[in-house]
């Protein structure tokens, strides 16, 4: 384009206060400039982080964020998605866990020819582009942190089996214990459900053991809070008598006293990265691994 023509156009734009019409562009160009965020996660903190990241990336590329809550437990999940998709054609979809692991939903998206990127998928890694974090390594490093504080008997509280993160975090814990040559008795690994209440139950079992652990690593923050509540009730000072570690670094981690040592996941970045993969003209491909961060706060301290 010749520079003077460009200038003339720019001037006309200014003069007429021209704004491209979104609907017309969408119709003629057969793209909507809309990115769908399909989520199904009970945690508002997680979802909020997701949205912040996705929105940031959308603005970089002139897209907008369309929100769709999907009930992935429901048998109608796929047909719900289908209905939403038929009314508004989005340019791409971000799928967060656990919807991202529902095969029927993926099948539908494939069939409709809608591009999608999965966030922390449980498996089937070749099926679509995805963004994830190394849950195993994070749990490994948290466990090592506790070991370095002198803890030898460490209790672990896992998550629900259907969550992809559950197995990875337990693996990281077990690997770190093995690497340090520390035995892990069966009763030191408790199955939780990512809820405060389940954390309470597991903590009660762990702390009433004949030889209770000196540290408990709960594989999410809600459960870690449950552990702290039990410690409080049993008059066990944290961290002097019991160290407590969580996972997720949710906002509540800083709203308890002492503040919770946890793992910060790059949730917003993951969503931003997924969005960028979607809007990139050459299309998305492969997987992308993002870094976590070990956040050490007051709830973990030297073993007695």
Partner DNA sequence: TTGTAAGCGTTATCAA
Partner DNA sequence: TTGATAACGCTTACAA
Which residues contact its own copies (rule: CB under 8 A)? Answer: 19-24, 26-27, 30, 32-33, 37, 44-45, 47-49, 51-52, 55, 62, 64-69, 84, 86-89, 196, 222, 225, 229, 232-233, 251-252, 254-257
Q: List b or e across 46-71, with b for residues whose CB sees 16 or more CB atoms inside 10 angstroms.
A: bbebbbebbbbbbeeeebebbebebe
Q: Which does 285 bind (CB under 5 to 8 A by kind): its own copies, DNA, none?
A: none
Instruction: Locate all alpha helices (DSSP H) within the chain, ordered by sequence.
Output: 3-16, 22-29, 44-60, 77-87, 103-112, 135-148, 164-179, 196-207, 221-233, 267-279
Strand pairing report for 287-290 and 130-133: parallel
Query: Which tokens in the block code for residue 234?
Result: 């049993």
Residue 1 partner contact from its own copies, DNA, none using kind-dependent CB cut-offs of 5 to 8 Å: DNA
Closest separation in Å from C-beta 84 to its own copies: 8
Contact stretch for DNA (CB under 7 A) within 18-26, 113-121, 226-234, 295-303: 18-26
Q: Is 128 helix (H, G, I), strand (E, B) or coil?
A: coil
What is the token pair recorded at 78? Answer: 């796929």
* Binding-site partner at residue 52 among its own copies, DNA, none, CB < 5 to 8 Å by type: its own copies
Query: Which residue number, 51 or 122, has a Cβ lying nearer to its own copies?
Result: 51
Q: How far apart, in whole angstroms, are the C-alpha atoms of residue 231 and residue 300?
A: 13
Residue 209 DSSP symbol: S
Is residue 186 involved in binding DNA (CB under 7 A)? no
CB of 53 to DNA, least distance (A): 27
Among 14, 15, 17, 24, binds DNA (CB under 7 A): 24
1 binds DNA (CB under 7 A): yes
CB of 68 to DNA, least distance (A): 21
Shortest CA distance to 160 belongs to which of 261, 259, 73, 269?
A: 73
Pick from 29, 75, 183, 210: which binds DNA (CB under 7 A)?
29
Among candidate residues 241, 224, 253, the one with its CA nearest the CA of residue 158: 224
Compute the least distance from the CB of residue 300 to its own copies, in Å. 18
Extract the tokens encoding 206. 């762990």
Among 15, 20, 211, 282, interactor with DNA by CB under 7 A: 20
**Smallest distance from its own copies to CB 51, Å:** 6
Residue 287, H or E segment: strand 287-290
Q: Which residues bind DNA (CB under 7 A)?
A: 1-2, 4-5, 18-21, 24-25, 27-30
């Amino acid at each position: 384009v010749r520079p003077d023509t460009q200038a003339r156009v720019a001037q006309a734009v200014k003069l007429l206060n021209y704004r491209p019409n979104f609907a017309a562009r969408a119709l003629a160009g057969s793209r909507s400039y809309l990115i769908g965020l399909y989520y199904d996660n009970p945690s508002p903190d997680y979802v909020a982080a997701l949205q912040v990241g996705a929105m940031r990336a959308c603005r970089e590329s002139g897209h907008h964020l369309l929100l769709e809550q999907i009930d992935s437990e429901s048998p109608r999940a796929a047909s719900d998605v289908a209905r939403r998709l038929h009314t508004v054609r989005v340019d791409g979809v971000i799928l967060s866990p656990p919807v991202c692991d529902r095969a029927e939903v993926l099948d539908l998206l494939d069939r409709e020819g809608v591009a999608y990127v999965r966030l922390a998928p449980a498996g089937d890694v070749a099926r679509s582009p995805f963004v994830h974090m190394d849950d195993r390594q994070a749990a490994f490093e948290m466990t090592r942190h506790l070991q370095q504080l002198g803890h030898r008997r460490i209790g672990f509280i896992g998550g629900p089996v259907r969550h992809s993160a559950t197995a990875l975090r337990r693996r990281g814990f077990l690997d770190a214990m093995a690497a340090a040559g520390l035995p892990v008795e069966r009763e030191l690994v408790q199955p939780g459900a990512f809820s405060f209440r389940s954390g309470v139950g597991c903590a009660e079992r762990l702390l009433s053991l004949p030889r209770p652990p000196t540290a408990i690593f709960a594989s999410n923050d809600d459960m870690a809070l449950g552990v702290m509540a039990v410690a409080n009730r049993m008059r066990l000072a944290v961290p002097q008598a019991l160290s407590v570690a969580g996972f997720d670094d949710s906002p509540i981690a800083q709203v308890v006293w002492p503040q919770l040592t946890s793992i910060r996941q790059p949730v917003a970045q993951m969503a931003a990265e997924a969005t960028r993969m979607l809007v990139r003209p050459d299309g998305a491909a492969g997987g992308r691994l993002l870094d976590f961060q070990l956040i050490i706060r007051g709830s973990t301290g030297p073993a007695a």
